[in-house]
Amino acid sequence: MPATQPACRRSISNPVRAVFFKATIWACALCHLPNGKGRPDTASIAGLPYEYLVQAIYDFKNDLRESSDRRKLDAQFMAGFTKSMSFEDIKGVATYFASLPPIPSV
């Protein structure tokens, strides 16, 4: 792959890269960013365990988990996005973000 490709596209295998371009990954990347680091007001999810990510997304999808601050619009968007995710989508998102190296937030 040419060196001009973003690092997040060079560092993952082809099957995972294919999943990255699905809308569900982009929905997560709006707040958590494509590298998984997150914005100042959102969590870093890069390198979190696959099982944890699957459970967290599944719980948001099924109203078993919510943000500690319901006023945050990004948490409301996340809950809405997860409603339309299939289990395959959830596994793809978890695979992608779990495959990224952890990024310290400091």
The string of pLDDT tens digits covering residues 70-104 is 777 777 788 888 988 889 889 989 999 999 999 87
Q: How far apart are CA 73 and CA 71, in angstroms?
A: 6
pTM of the shown model: 0.74
Sorted by sequence, the CB contacts under 8 Å of residue 38 that are 6+ apart come out as 31, 32, 44, 45, 105
End-to-end CA distance of the chain: 31
Contact between 52 and 106 under an 8 Å Cβ cutoff? The reply is no
Greater model confidence, 5 or 100: 100
Q: What is the pLDDT of residue 21?
A: 52
- Of the pLDDT bands very low, low, confident and very high (cuts 50, 70, 90), residue 7 is very low
Q: What is the pLDDT of residue 48?
A: 97
* % of the chain beyond a pLDDT of 90: 35
DSSP letter for 22, please: S
Tokens of 18: 């294919």
